[in-house]
């Protein structure tokens, strides 16, 4: 299972990571501190969530034509 977390407070993030790294059943694959990369990942997670909600019939998405007409 993969989990993405956004820990807003740096001090809490450090403490959390110290705890997690001590657990032998968790591998920390990557830590992202760059704000641009972090924002990109947040946007991607939101996009995948929108697609999941669409597939479940909980959300309507814009058509490609509607998106192009916005410009």
pLDDT per residue as tens digits for the range 38-62 = 899 989 999 999 999 999 999 998 8
14: nearest Cα among 34, 31, 26, 35: 31
pLDDT of residue 5: 87
- Alpha-carbon distance of 42 to 3, in angstroms, equals 13
- Alpha-carbon distance of 11 to 15, in angstroms, equals 6
Q: What percent of the chain stands above pLDDT 70?
A: 100
What are the tens digits of pLDDT across the range 17-26? 999 999 999 9
Averaged confidence pLDDT in the chain:
91
Residue owning tokens 């993405």: 4
What are the tens digits of pLDDT across the range 28-40? 998 888 889 989 9
- Cα dihedral 46/5/35/43 (nearest 10): -10
Indicate the pTM of the whole model.
0.61
H or E element at residue 53: helix 35-55
């Amino acid at each position: 299972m993969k989990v993405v977390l956004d820990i807003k407070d740096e001090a809490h993030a450090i403490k959390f990571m110290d705890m997690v790294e001590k657990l032998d059943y968790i591998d920390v694959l990557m830590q992202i501190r760059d704000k641009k990369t972090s924002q990109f990942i947040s946007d991607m997670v939101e996009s995948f969530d929108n697609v999941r909600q669409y597939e479940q019939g909980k959300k309507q998405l814009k058509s490609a034509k509607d998106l192009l007409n916005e410009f």
